[in-house]
Amino acid sequence: MSAPPLLEARDLAVRYPRTPAEVPPALEGVSFTLERGERLAVVGESGSGKTTLARALLRLVPLAAGQVLLKGEDLAILDPAELRERRRAMQMIFQDPLASLDPRMRVLDIVAEPLDCGPGRLPAGERRERVRALVESMGVPGNALARRPRTFSGGQAQRIAIARALIAAPDILLCDEPVASLDLATRRQVLALLRAQCEERGLALLFISHDLPAVYQLCDRVIVLYRGHVVEQGPVRQVFTAPAHDYTRRLLSAVLVPDPARARAR
């Protein structure tokens, strides 16, 4: 028997509590696999279910139906301690780094926290050295360790959030709009950093975004979500040049083109 996929979603459905019966589920019938080293995008407009999908994969919201299998293991049958341990393999990066990093903590403690929560305890010197090396390899100066998040630009803060995710040695990075709050030049640098880290470490990436150009630059495959359903999935280049679904076509035509003549012909 061949090895199970790294991550598999089977027929996922999520219905938020206390929503009226006539409101359709936030997510329904969503299935996909993510293999080791693969970079998969989930695209769709606000309200399409992208963030709900990320939360469902992490079991941060209960499933109404379906299964999430991590390395072939159903997360639903684990007790809370086992779930926490297995979930270390999936690390999150959120949209707004200044909101996702604790403003009262120093960078050293923020980045080291996954180590501190993990099995065993590192000597202080080694802990510090590992954080410093990782933070520097993200392009953040090593003297940053004693500073707090608010003293960094958005791009620098996001690099720190990436370092915190990587220090847990995950198999999967789960990113929810990780570059949406950054300007274009910084966005480009952070995308390049994510790509380099994934390639170097053989990480799989689940990249949730409404930013189709970023998806095009970074990902191999794409899932298009519309009102909680997958309407199309395939290789990024194929889906973006020959979309099969009208909704995908609409998403593509909403992208602003940096060319005045084409932009105005729209």
Partner 1 sequence: MSLLALRDFSVSLGPRVVDGVDLDIEAGEVFGIAGTSGSGKSQLLLGLLGLSPPGAVVTGSARLDGRELVGLPERELARLRGDRIAMVFQDPMTALNPYLTIGTQLTEVLRVHRRLRPGAARERAAAMLDAVHVPDPGRRLAQYPHQLSGGQRQRVVIAMALLCEPAVLLADEPTTALDATVQAQILDVLVESSRRLGTTVVIVTHDFGVLAAVASRAAVMRAGRVVEVADIGTLFAGPRHEATRELLDAARELGLPTVTA
Q: How many CB atoms lie within 10 A of CB 142?
A: 10
Distance (Å) of CA 148 to CA 159, 165, 176, 227: 14, 17, 23, 39
Instruction: Please choose, out of 52-60, 70-78, 116-124, 213-221, the segment that lies near partner 1 by the rule CB under 8 A.
Output: 213-221
Q: Which of 106, 188, 229, 245 binds partner 1 (CB under 8 A)?
A: 188
211 near partner 1 (CB under 8 A)? yes
Structure tokens that stand for 141 in this block: 């100066």
Looking at the chain, how many residues does it have? 266
The least CB distance from residue 261 to partner 1, in Å, is 8
Mask of contacts with partner 1, 139-178, x by CB under 8 A?
Answer: --------------xx------------------------
Stretch that binds partner 1, among 7-15, 64-72, 116-124, 205-213 (CB under 8 A): 205-213
Residue ranges in 226-245 that form contacts with partner 1 under rule CB under 8 A: 237, 240-243
Q: Which one of residues 31, 137, 186, 233 is an interface residue with partner 1 (CB under 8 A)?
A: 186
User: How many helical (H) and strand (E) elements, i.e. helices and strands, does the chain have?
Assistant: 11, 10
Beta-bridge partners for 232? 224
- Write the DSSP symbol of residue 42: E
CB 170 within 8 A of CB 90: yes
CA–CA distance from 81 to each of 61, 90, 180 (Å)? 17, 15, 33
Q: Determine, following the binding rule CB under 8 A, whether residue 225 of this chain makes contact with partner 1.
A: no
Residues near partner 1 (CB under 8 A):
45-47, 153-154, 183-188, 210-214, 216-217, 237, 240-243, 249-260, 262-264, 266
